[in-house]
Homo-oligomer: A and B are copies of this chain.
Amino acid sequence: MLRADHPASAGFDLTAYLARATDAVNRALDRFLPRATAKPATLHKAMRYSLFAGGKRLRPALCLAAAEACGGGWPAALPLACAVECIHTYSLIHDDLPAMDNDDFRRGKPTNHKVFGEGVAILAGDALLTQAFEIAAQSEAAPRYPHRDLVMEVAKAAGSLQLVGGQVADLEAEGQSISAAQLRYIHERKTSALLCCSVRLGGMSANCPPRELEALTDFGYHVGLAFQVIDDILDVTQTSEQLGKTAGKDTAASKATYPAIVGLEKSRRIATQLTDKAFAVLKPFRGRAEALQALADYLLKRDR
């Protein structure tokens, strides 16, 4: 069992929380998506293959936990949590393509294009990206945040200046010698943007006041960066079996990573500092942010 050991969330049973969140998210996603038998079946099978490949549902869990931190409940946050997971899954399918990172395994299973072929994999990604907006439009908007705000939030985080932009910058950095500042630029876009969006959407579903939305933004930004630094560290220190995806890929592809630029020890220190900053902004939420805090703690200490 995962027990958070940061003082503020000590004793919080994160394993049980994540299991409940994963279950709720999986059921909701299953409802939102067309059946695997819906025509064309190949496409819907491909979408569901990656969406239900055993992802940890961290972004949805962050969304739900952020809603709680703002005094909201899961039902209002769930559609938005699902929208974010669709975006995340589409981005993994496209990132794994031969024209990008060329990965054969993801979450311990063959990647989408390995099973369905490149054409269908690209289209399954396209369909999941589109599905995300359909789901977001189906959510119940809170008074302060109408649907245009929710859709804009997802579109900005997933768009050319954030998620997609980060992936292009990442592609361009391959084999190049880049600075720590440039690496942060990539990480902010590839990872922080969507994590930030997850917690912000959670807060928005709870009709949070602007100052809470600002705190969640800060939290998401720092947790997002810490998350990516840890990812870089794990790529160097863990085996493929432990990760469920090809380890050492960053080094093999001469990708810029935190360990490569500042070394392993300093990378660990940076991740801890970022997580501490994330904890600090949660103070005003007090006990309601227990799950959010436990999640940040877990992200820092995870080994895969």
How many positions in chain A have a CB within 8 Å of any CB in the partner chain? 51
Is A224 positioned at the interface, with any CB of B under 8 Å from its CB? Answer: no
Contacts of A129 on B, CB cut-off 8 Å?
126, 129-130
- Is A117 a contact of B99 with CB atoms below 8 Å? yes
Contact of A134 among B42, B120, B125, B152 (CB under 8 A): B152
Q: Does A222 contact B (CB under 8 A)?
A: no
- By the criterion CB–CB under 8 Å, are A159 and B137 in contact? no
Q: How far is the CB of A106 from chain B (nearest CB, A)?
A: 17
Taking a contact as CB atoms under 8 Å apart, the answer to whether B127 and A164 are in contact is yes
Q: Mark A147-181, 1 if CB is under 8 A from B, else 0.
A: 11001101110111100110111011000000000
B152 & A138 in contact (Cβ 8 Å cutoff): yes
Q: Is A280 an interface residue (CB 8 A)?
A: no
A131 CB to closest chain B CB (Å) equals 6
A39: B residues at CB distance < 8 A:
161, 165, 169, 185
Cβ–Cβ < 8 Å partners of A172 in chain B = 40, 42
Q: Cβ of A133 < 8 Å from any Cβ of B?
A: yes
This chain's copy number in the assembly: 2
A136 at the interface (CB under 8 A from B): yes
Cβ contacts A104-131/B at 8 Å (1 or 0 each): 0000000000000111101101110111
The answer on a CB contact under 8 Å between B97 and A160 is no
CB distance from A59 to the nearest CB of B (A): 17
Residue of B nearest to A155 (CB): B134
Q: Which residues of B contact A120 (CB under 8 A)?
A: 168, 171
Q: Nearest-CB distance from A176 to chain B (Å)?
A: 13
CB contacts under 8 Å to B, within A18-56, are 34, 38-40, 42-44, 47
Least Cβ–Cβ distance between A136 and chain B, in angstroms: 7
Q: A40-B172, A161-B34 are in contact. Are A122 and B97 (CB under 8 A)?
A: yes
Query: Does A187 lie at the interface of the complex (its beta carbon under 8 Å from any beta carbon of B)?
Result: no
For A133, list chain B residues within 8 Å (CB). 133, 151, 154-155
Complex Cα gap A151–B130 (Å)? 10
Beta-carbon contact of A156 and B168 below 8 Å: no
Contact A126:B94 (CB < 8 A) given known A39-B165, A155-B131: yes
Beyond known contacts A42-B168, A94-B122, A130-B158: 7 more, CB 8 A cutoff: A42-B172, A123-B164, A126-B129, A131-B155, A134-B151, A134-B156, A137-B148
Interchain residue pairs A-B with the least CB separation, the first 8: A99-B118, A134-B155, A127-B160, A137-B151, A99-B119, A43-B168, A147-B148, A127-B164
6 A-B interface contacts by CB (under 8 A): A99-B117, A99-B118, A120-B171, A127-B164, A133-B151, A138-B148
